[in-house]
Structure 1
Amino acid sequence: MGKMTLIMLPLLLIIASPANGFYLPGVAPRDFQLGETLEVKVNKLSSTKTQLPYDYYFLRYCKPQNIRNGAENLGEVLRGDRIENSVYNFNMKVPQSCKIACRVNLDASAAKNFKKKIDEDYRVNMILDNLPIAVVWQTTDESKQIIYERGFRVGFKTTASGSQNQKYLIFNHLSFKVKYHPDPDANTARVVGFEVFPQSINHKYEKWEENNTKLTTCMPSTQTKRGTLDPQEIDKDKEIVFTYDVSFESSDIRWASRWDTYLLMKDDQIHWFSIINSLMIVLFLSGIVALIMMRTLYKDIVKYNQLDQEEVMDETGWKLVHADVFRPPNNYSLLCVYVGTGVQVLGMSFVTIIFAMLGFLSPSNRGGLMTVMVFLWVFMGLFAGYSSSYMYKMFKGSEWMKIPLKTAVMFPSVLFTTFFILNGLIWGEKSSGAVPFGTMIALVLLWFGISVPLVFLGSFLGQKTPSSDDPAKTNKFPRPIPPQPWYIHPVFAMLFGGVLPYGAVFIELFFILTSVWLNQFYYIFGFLFLAFVILIITCAEITIVLCYIQLCCEDYRWWWRAYLTSGASALYLFSYSILYFCTKLEITQLVSGILYFGYMFIISYVFFILTGTIGFCSCLWFVRKIYSSVKID
């Protein structure tokens, strides 16, 4: 085991590390000439307290004369991203000091919106050359670690001494720092960092002139004492002057590695240790389980093949139910639909993780991950139709047209209905996260225009594929099932069978939830691939073990039990989402809570179908394998 760890560790480091140009960037590198214009784009206002994004210009910020929406892919729209131009434009390597962006007069409604967004801890997101803006902090402990926070807060609250009235202060002065990597030969530079230091300054001026206003708070004598200047308060009928500084700093960071600073925000040692430790433990347990199963099964098969029929009747074990083990279960058409849908989810997940691990879906490619998942789901409908129809043919069903129709409609209907209700709640909050009507129509067209025809095509191919005969013939009348021990009860089997697959991927689930709900980047897709493989192995093994114990107790009703045993891991996932909501999130609004649990229900439901299908297919292979290995008269 130690040698294996030493051999695999370098491979894990290569797979999981995003550094040294591992990520294929979302856009091609751009070389800027001296003095060339750098355009800052604005993105959504986001908050981890509400989980409701808003358009940047929802607040009374400075607006350009013409607002242009950036090119948005499907994933960006579904995530609520709204990329637009802004009044903040720089010139490469040309520093600027206290440049006026605009002045804004707040009415009661605008002041109320600013105050509400400060209460809800909203952050402003900006982009320069596809890099998100970040606030740089340094920890106060001995490590003095540098931490990057995406976006900057709209403002903050303060309470004067001896007073209970809170004042709302806005960050109206932004000190930008642009880091660049120079190319001396071509006299160009590439942007490799975008930082900001926000401040609140109550600007003063003697006379406002449209293009030549002199701010007394921006004089050279005051620039070094900005921390002592009066902050800008938010209230109705208040005038706010927005200003900004720009400085440029040469950096040794190369363009291919510029995202490393944003991705490596925190110490990942705990993450690395937990993943590798989990991997070694699960592999060790999997080896033990596999060894026990192989030795036990080998002895059973040898014994059954040596005994005569009369001797077998006096024995107990899984061979006694050979005439009933392949009897079609109740509601087998629904089982076929769930297995076909699970194959669709499995194919989508596997290909998506492979693309992400190779760097095609890095965080620099905004919305790329969501877009790829949607299109892969649509095209994997071919495999869903094939799998469900092939299983239905194995059960010798007769209602052929209902199977592809249920496979194409049933599961997407649950997702679309839930998503439509949640989208209505988001739309009622006037959030930019609400999917536009045109995008909803596009999703429906992808569903019925591509996915449904592919499901029917796959179903046609599944019907034409010859199915293999069962290893044993099924009796006309079912065999009585003897009383079962308590540990064979379906509820106990589900609770025990679901905990191991969930425990195998618990660490990755924590980091995934953190990236989704706490506005963090998830980037170690190599570890996610390893966790996905471990999930497949554990689902298969725990289902096979419990199925073997069930058959040894002469209970042949394994079909649905195999699906539910590993699928029960979704119960642990949803239970953990409740714990995560109570301990990690600060959501207080009813709508935000409904959105959280609505989306976690979708995630848990998909996880149930994925793990249940893996367990069922593994168990089907196991049962056919063992009954084809013994002589049955």
Structure 2
Amino acid sequence: MAFSLRSRVFHHVWLWIVCVLFTVDAFYVPGYSIQSYKKDDNIPLLVNKIYSDNTQLQYAYFELPFVCPATGKRHHDSKWTSGHSLSLNLGEVLRGDRIKNSDFEVNMGQDVDCAYLCSKVVDGHDIKWAQQLIEDGYITEWILDNLPGATSFVTVDRKRKYYAAGFKLGYKDYDMVTGKPAYYLYNHFTMVIRWRKAPGSAGENGNRVVTGFEVYPKSVNGGSRNETGCSDNLDERQDPLLLNIRPNNTDLAQQYPDSSYVPEVKVDLNQISTKIPYTYSVYFREEHEIEWANRWDLYFSDQTESTSTHWLAIVNSIIISTILGAVCIIIWVRTTSGDTRVRGDGLLEDARFAIRKRVDNKSSGLLEKEGAVSAEDEVPDDELVDDVTSWKLLHADVFRPPPFAGLLAPIIGSGSQLVFMIASLLALSCLGVVNPSWRGGFVTIGIFTFFFAGGLSGYLSARIYRTFGGTDYRVNTLTTALLFPGLLFSLMFFLNLFTWAQSSSTAIPFTTLLALAFLLMIVQLPLVYVGSYYGFYRTAPYSHPTRTSSTPRHIPKEPLNAAWYTRNHLLLSILSGLVPFAVLFIELMFVFKSLYLDKSSYYYVFGFLSIITLLLAITIGETVIITLYIQLCAENYHWWWTSFLTGGSSAFWIFVYLNWYYWTTLHIGGLISSLLFFSYGLLACLVYGLATGTIGFLCGYAFMRKIYSGVKVD
């Protein structure tokens, strides 16, 4: 009766949770409510950073020496002064965001044809750096009403408009006289803000919401300007603002009138001074076609075109998984059919040696004489040899603790944390809780779910450790809690030394590193300790269906003419990683494009990625089962590490693909950027390898327990 009552209560609670999840708005769950504005209300324009697809270094916008500094001015009806730093979540800090309020005056419904911002005087060093940033293709990121300022494009057929987040810092051209590169800085910004009536009663009261934020930059020479500081005839074609650190070419040409070669003159950068005037325009345009809830759709420029490719990736994954599943079914039928009773007195081993002797005699020609082979001496076929001399002989050794068991258990524990973190992120992304409007939310949720999964990590690690015969659970607890986070923290600190030297916002502030270390000590370590205590003392170790003998069995050496996959199990594990990699490859191209090739785009297809991830986990389990069966047929019972390495081996191929992608597709230059690219790429592959290796280990363990549960020892 009590059990029935608890079941009904659990059923109602679960039903209530599901109903709540499916009734929320699936795109703006995080609590970012609709912000509406009355006419003339101030809309804060925030400046963030500059970034480039050609480098891994980012820089805070207000730290650029050639832009207008913050004046500390307070806008009308604004609660922030310019230069005020917004509080950032952990994910925003780690991704290099440095968001501050600006001096741009933007009020709802007020068009501004031209407004003067400032005139910035820069020297030759600042100009040279600005030239380098333009050469590297840096993009500027501004934010208004949580929307990044966008560059607007139209498709070739002119039927659809789409956005690319950010706008360029300037552009590069070539001098008509010398043919050398010339760099032009954008110093006038035309902002078009699209709005519509707010939904519901707020709209009836005259409130408006922002549905688009477009920025059209322009380079304007600092020549003729009116008393406000704005350029005369701004709408007409004007000469652009040239960032020049060379002497006037006309003067040099006059000095050498009869020569086609104009010599270079060494310039003292400290002696060069240029004034850069900054102005802006603001225009509000009513938009009827785009709803506020769909205003991010324009940033997903390739959503329609790439859908068929994502479905192709799913079909490809299903085909691979189905083929491997058929092989696993054959293996399962072979291992469960027939007589699974073995003798514990060595009788089966004697039969194996007799069979091998007859096989050797046949291969040497001793049994080829007519009449020399009796019915009892007939050489059995390969299937019979495999059936008698394969996995059944290992029943007394197959669950023997592996070498370095004290390292494998913490690795599996850390891997379970990562599996929980990845599954949580994918689920929350599919529900819309984690989305582009929550800047930095993906990283923030990932870090906290990893830390709070410490209890699961400690429990699984301690129970496996005790199953292996371990006795010192405190050492196992510390290793589980600190091994992977310590490695991650050390690598981040090492890379920070280089980004700090470059004064880049990519560098993680020292206070943030201390906060991460604090979370590690007060959240991760206690939870791992509690989980370890419960897994080691409050639960029994995993039971195995067969007893382990006191003396390890000798593993026979495979003959030279044996198949390669029975002689080199490490190579077999690495090559088997190609199968899961083939499942992930197509979707991986979209992920790499969003991360490296087009940082202004957003990866949005988490529904497709979740399906691919599920198929990937199934494929990994199937690959591990096939690999372990091949290893058992070779009478090698060291399968523990093989299952983990086979499951995580696709990380090796992802890193190989990452290198190929770097050399053939990307244009990342500079030692520091390349170091950051490969280091963080290696770290991502390590995270992936730990997670998939843990999945492979658990699948392999379940397979071994299942097939040996039917083996009966006489």
Distance 1:123 1:161 in 2: 26
Shift of 1:160: 2.5
Distance 2:408 2:707 in 1: 22
Distance 1:431 1:150 in 2: 21
In structure 1, stretches of 5+ residues that fail to align are: 1-19
Distance 1:306 1:334 in 2: 33
Shift of 1:513: 2.1
1:460 aligns with 2:533: yes
1:474 aligns with 2:512: no
Q: Trace 1:122-133 onto structure 2 (pairs within 5 A).
A: 122-133=138-149
Q: Trace 1:42-53 onto structure 2 (pairs within 5 A).
A: 42-53=47-58
Distance 1:101 1:285 in 2: 65
Task: Show the counterpart of 1:10.
Answer: none
Shift of 1:510: 2.1
Shift of 1:311: 6.9
Q: Trace 1:186-585 onto structure 2 (pairs within 5 A).
A: 186-205=205-224, 208=227, 212-213=228-229, 215-218=231-234, 223=235, 225=236, 228-235=237-244, 236-251=272-287, 252-265=289-302, 267-299=305-337, 302-305=338-341, 312-313=348-349, 314=351, 315-463=388-536, 464-484=538-558, 485=562, 486-488=564-566, 489-518=568-597, 519=599, 520-585=601-666
Paired residues of 1:203 and 1:217 also in contact (CA < 8 A): no
The superposition leaves residues 202-242 of structure 1 with CA deviations (integer Å, 9 ceiling, x where unpaired) of 1434665xxx4463233xxxx2x2xx211111234222221
Shift of 1:500: 1.1
Amino acid in the other structure paired with 1:113: W
Task: Show the counterpart of 1:63.
Answer: 69
Relative to 1, partners in 2 of residues 1:394 and 1:182: Cα closer, same or farther, differing over 3 Å? same
Identity of aligned residues (%): 35
Normalised TM-score (structure 2):
0.81
Shift of 1:21: 6.2
In structure 2, stretches of 5+ residues that fail to align are: 1-23, 73-82, 245-271, 352-387
Relative to 1, partners in 2 of residues 1:21 and 1:397: Cα closer, same or farther, differing over 3 Å? closer
The superposition leaves residues 511-533 of structure 1 with CA deviations (integer Å, 9 ceiling, x where unpaired) of 22222223131111111211221
Cα RMSD of the aligned pairs, angstroms, is 2.1
Shift of 1:144: 6.5
Aligned residues: 601
Shift of 1:286: 4.1
Shift of 1:118: 0.7
Shift of 1:142: 5.1
Relative to 1, partners in 2 of residues 1:456 and 1:25: Cα closer, same or farther, differing over 3 Å? closer
Paired residues of 2:463 and 2:542 also in contact (CA < 8 A): no
Q: Which stretch shows the higher mean deviation, 87-96 or 619-628?
A: 87-96
Corresponding residue SS for 2:103: strand
Paired residues of 2:340 and 2:710 also in contact (CA < 8 A): no
Corresponding residue SS for 2:101: strand
Paired residues of 1:43 and 1:127 also in contact (CA < 8 A): yes
Shift of 1:298: 2.6
Task: Show the counterpart of 1:588.
Answer: 669
Amino acid in the other structure paired with 1:465: T
Distance 2:416 2:294 in 1: 37
Q: Which stretch shows the higher mean deviation, 279-288 or 338-347?
A: 279-288
Distance 1:25 1:205 in 2: 51
Distance 2:626 2:457 in 1: 27
Task: Show the counterpart of 1:9.
Answer: none
Corresponding residue SS for 2:57: coil
Distance 1:207 1:174 in 2: 18
Q: Which stretch shows the higher mean deviation, 437-446 or 508-517?
A: 508-517
Task: Show the counterpart of 2:88.
Answer: 72
Task: Show the counterpart of 2:5.
Answer: none
Paired residues of 2:222 and 2:277 also in contact (CA < 8 A): yes
Relative to 1, partners in 2 of residues 1:578 and 1:136: Cα closer, same or farther, differing over 3 Å? same
Shift of 1:565: 1.3
Shift of 1:179: 1.0
Paired residues of 1:25 and 1:256 also in contact (CA < 8 A): no
Distance 2:411 2:342 in 1: 40
Corresponding residue SS for 1:238: strand
Distance 1:149 1:548 in 2: 51
Paired residues of 1:204 and 1:217 also in contact (CA < 8 A): no
Task: Show the counterpart of 1:23.
Answer: 27
Normalised TM-score (structure 1):
0.91
Q: Which stretch shows the higher mean deviation, 177-186 or 316-325?
A: 177-186
Distance 1:152 1:40 in 2: 15
Distance 2:164 2:208 in 1: 25
